[in-house]
């Protein structure tokens, strides 16, 4: 693992090998073994440096480089061992960057002071400086680069076979500067990549949190709609049953039956929601009743029957050609109707309700009205702020890309009207005929 300012020490030796070494030489800390990649790179650099240094010490035309009073110095082959050692220590440059800079510089200085031609050998400390610059901050790498430059220039000027300030002397600052800037560029690139990775991780985490919040909100809406509708029906029927139980037990039995049906439907929908949560959490269980249809306009008649059983007469009018709807639109329309009828049961008092569903070419229009006492404009605004019913209907319409209008009617009662966009219906013969007959509503009093 690589990070700016530090490198992880990656030892390849096994635990058993390290234990044997500690037992053999107690108190001795063995250096980490370089990676195969770094060792291979160091070996290649060493071979090139030794070969180039040998060629530099034995030119084919010495007169082209050395003019009196300067002469080509004799370089024994054993001296090239210093160059080889300087190249080999580069294998540890990522594990011990400062130590490698010192070691490579010292070995090249030892090769330079006797007066051997050192033009090629000067590149080895530059490689070490570049690696250090890629691993530590600029404020630390620059002093190291300056120090190495000064040491190499002083050693070269002390016994330069080409003249005190000739040959490789003038190239030392350029070599170190290029290596320093290359290392800084690599460090900047690594910092940028790391920053982009962290930013991407944060964005992914934020997106996951947003999706969790949206799912929680959706489940809260579902729970509110199911519980509010069920409990409103049960409350109304329980009140009626308590009044009829003594004098008219037959009618009380009907109310109790309606309570049982409402409770059963509510439990089924709650079980479906909990099954979704269980599946999402990895429980691996199948839904308790996968054959039950999902809430949608296909269950509109069953909804109307339940509301009627709660004591609120309802008429359902469907115009246009019923067809498959997007899941979000189908569910939103059903929940809006359900919540509007629930509010009518709770607030309208003795009244009737009417549900109108119009399948248009480009949009689905849903309207629920009642003839009860309803809510005043100020009461409706207060209910929107304090409760979840009207606000939930508006949020569902917005989620489906539509709009909703709610408010009291001029002659009494309350109205909820939603417009939800649809994809254009296919232009078939049946669609054309249904459009032509759209002006004749199909009213069904259920």
The 10s digit of each residue's pLDDT in 163-189 is 666 666 778 888 899 999 999 999 899
Q: What is the total residue count of the chain?
A: 446
Looking at the predicted structure, is the pLDDT value of residue 295 above 50?
yes
Mean pLDDT for 366-372 is 90
User: Rounded to an integer, what distance in angstroms lies between the CA atom of residue 296 and that of residue 327?
Assistant: 8
Nearest to 50 by CA among 154, 106, 124: 124
Nearest to 323 by CA among 431, 179, 438: 431
User: Rounded to an integer, what distance in angstroms lies between the CA atom of residue 105 and that of residue 126?
Assistant: 9
- Residue 293 within a domain: no
CA distances from 19 to 10, 171, 174, 444 (A): 17, 48, 46, 88
DSSP letter string, 170-217 = GGHHHHHHHHHHHHHHHHHHHHHHHHHHHHHHHHHHHHHHHHHHHHHH
Using pLDDT thresholds of 50, 70 and 90, give the confidence band for residue 54. confident
Token pair recorded at residue 19? 């234990």
Q: Which CATH number covers residue 426?
A: 3.30.565.10
User: Rounded to an integer, what distance in angstroms lies between the CA atom of residue 114 and that of residue 116?
Assistant: 6
Looking at the predicted structure, is the pLDDT value of residue 358 above 90?
yes
- Residue 81 within a domain: yes
Backbone dihedral region for residue 14 (phi beyond 0: left; psi -120 to 50: alpha; all else: beta): beta
Higher local confidence (pLDDT), 233 or 409? 409
Using pLDDT thresholds of 50, 70 and 90, give the confidence band for residue 365. very high
Q: Show the domain range for 383.
A: 299-446
Using pLDDT thresholds of 50, 70 and 90, give the confidence band for residue 14. very low
Residues 15 and 160 in one domain: yes
pLDDT in tens, 105-126: 999 999 888 878 777 888 899 9
Looking at the predicted structure, is the pLDDT value of residue 224 above 80?
no
pLDDT in tens, 179-218: 999 999 998 998 899 889 888 888 888 887 887 777 677 6
DSSP letter string, 90-124 = GGGTTTSHHHHHHHHHHHHHHHHTTT---TTTTHH
Nearest to 172 by CA among 136, 125, 104: 125
- Residue 152 within a domain: yes
Class of residue 33 by CB neighbours under 10 A (exposed 0-12, middle 13-18, buried 19+): middle
Among residues 200, 220, 236, which one ends one of the domains? 200
Using a cut of 0.85, tell me whether the model's pTM lies above it: no
- How high is the mean pLDDT of the chain? 75
Which of 34-38, 268-272, 332-336, 417-421 has the weakest average pLDDT? 268-272
Residues 19 and 162 in one domain: yes
Residues 304 and 437 in one domain: yes
Mean pLDDT for 340-350 is 79
How many domains, the chain? 2
- Residue 11 within a domain: yes
All residues at 6 or more sequence positions from 140 whose CB lies less than 8 Å from its CB, including other chains: none
Residues 177 and 313 in one domain: no
Q: How far is CA 300 from the centre of its chain?
A: 39
* Radius of gyration of the chain measured on its C-alpha atoms: 43
Nearest to 125 by CA among 168, 161, 158: 168
**Start-to-end Cα distance in the chain:** 72
User: Rounded to an integer, what distance in angstroms lies between the CA atom of residue 3 and that of residue 136?
Assistant: 9
Among residues 149, 171, 200, which one ends one of the domains? 200
Q: What is the pLDDT of residue 167?
A: 65
Token pair recorded at residue 49? 């440096």
Judge contact between 352 and 371, C-beta under 8 A. yes
Backbone dihedral region for residue 35 (phi beyond 0: left; psi -120 to 50: alpha; all else: beta): beta
Torsion angle defined by CA atoms of residues 46, 51, 54 and 58, in that order, rounded to the nearest 10 degrees:
-160
User: Rounded to an integer, what distance in angstroms lies between the CA atom of residue 185 and that of residue 176?
Assistant: 14
Residues 43 and 185 in one domain: yes
Residues 122 and 13 in one domain: yes
Characterize the bridge pairing of strands 363-370 and 353-359: antiparallel
- Residue 248 within a domain: no
- Residue 244 within a domain: no
User: Rounded to an integer, what distance in angstroms lies between the CA atom of residue 107 and that of residue 102?
Assistant: 9
Mean pLDDT for 234-249 is 67
**Eight-state DSSP code of residue 419:** E
Looking at the predicted structure, is the pLDDT value of residue 275 above 60?
no
Q: What is the pLDDT of residue 412?
A: 82
State the chain's maximal CA–CA distance in angstroms.
136
Among residues 148, 178, 200, which one ends one of the domains? 200
User: Rounded to an integer, what distance in angstroms lies between the CA atom of residue 172 and that of residue 193?
Assistant: 32
Q: Angle at the Cα of 330 (from 326 to 334), degrees rounded to 5?
A: 170
- Residue 167 within a domain: yes
Looking at the predicted structure, is the pLDDT value of residue 252 above 70?
no
CA distances from 330 to 306, 346, 359 (A): 19, 25, 11
Q: What is the pLDDT of residue 237?
A: 65
Cis bond leading into 69, ω under 30°?
Answer: yes
User: Rounded to an integer, what distance in angstroms lies between the CA atom of residue 16 and that of residue 24?
Assistant: 12
Q: How far is CA 223 from the centre of its chain?
A: 28
Looking at the predicted structure, is the pLDDT value of residue 407 above 60?
yes
Characterize the bridge pairing of strands 353-359 and 314-320: parallel
Looking at the predicted structure, is the pLDDT value of residue 27 above 90?
no
Token pair recorded at residue 96? 């011990």
- Residue 236 within a domain: no
């Amino acid at each position: 693992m690589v990070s700016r300012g530090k490198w992880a020490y990656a030892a390849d030796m096994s635990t058993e090998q390290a234990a044997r070494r500690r037992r053999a030489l107690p108190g001795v800390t063995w250096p980490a073994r370089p990676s195969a990649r770094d060792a291979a790179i160091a070996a290649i650099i060493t071979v090139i440096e030794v070969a180039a240094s040998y060629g530099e010490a034995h030119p084919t035309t010495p007169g082209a480089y050395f003019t009196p009073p300067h002469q080509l110095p004799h370089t024994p082959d054993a001296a090239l061992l210093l160059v080889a050692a300087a190249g080999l220590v580069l294998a540890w440059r990522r594990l011990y960057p400062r130590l490698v800079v010192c070691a490579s510089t010292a070995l090249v200085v030892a090769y330079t002071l006797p007066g051997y031609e050192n033009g090629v050998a000067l590149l080895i400390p530059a490689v070490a400086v570049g690696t250090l610059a890629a691993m530590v901050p600029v404020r630390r790498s620059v002093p190291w680069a300056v120090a190495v430059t000064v040491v190499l220039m002083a050693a070269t000027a002390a016994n330069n076979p080409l003249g005190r300030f000739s040959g490789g002397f003038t190239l030392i600052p350029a070599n170190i500067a290029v290596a320093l800037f290359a290392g800084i560029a690599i460090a900047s690139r690594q910092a940028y990549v790391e920053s982009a990775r962290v930013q991407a991780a944060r964005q992914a985490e934020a997106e996951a949190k947003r999706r969790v919040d949206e799912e929680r909100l959706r489940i809260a809406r579902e729970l509110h709609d199911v519980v509010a509708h069920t409990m409103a029906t049960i409350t109304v029927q329980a009140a009626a049953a308590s009044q009829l139980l003594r004098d008219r037990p037959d009618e009380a039995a009907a109310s109790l039956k309606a309570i049982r049906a409402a409770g059963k439907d509510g439990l089924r929908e709650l079980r479906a929601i909990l099954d979704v949560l269980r599946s999402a959490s990895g429980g691996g269980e199948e839904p308790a009743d996968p054959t039950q249809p999902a809430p949608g306009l296909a269950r509109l008649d069953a909804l109307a029957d339940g509301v009627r059983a709660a004591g609120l007469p309802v008429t359902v009018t469907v115009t246009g050609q019923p067809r498959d709807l997007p899941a979000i639109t189908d569910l939103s329309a059903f929940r809006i109707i359900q919540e509007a009828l629930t509010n009518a049961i709770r607030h309208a008092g003795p009244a009737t309700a009417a549900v109108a569903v119009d399948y248009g070419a480009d949009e689905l229009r849903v309207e629920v009205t009642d003839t009860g006492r309803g809510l005043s404009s100020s009461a409706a605004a207060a209910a929107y702020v304090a409760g979840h019913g009207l606000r939930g209907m508006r949020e569902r319409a917005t989620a489906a890309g539509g709009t909703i209008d709610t408010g009291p009617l001029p002659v009494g009662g309350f109205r909820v009207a939603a417009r939800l966009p649809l994809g254009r219906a296919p232009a078939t013969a049946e669609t054309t005929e249904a459009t032509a007959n759209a002006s004749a509503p199909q009213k069904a009093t259920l």
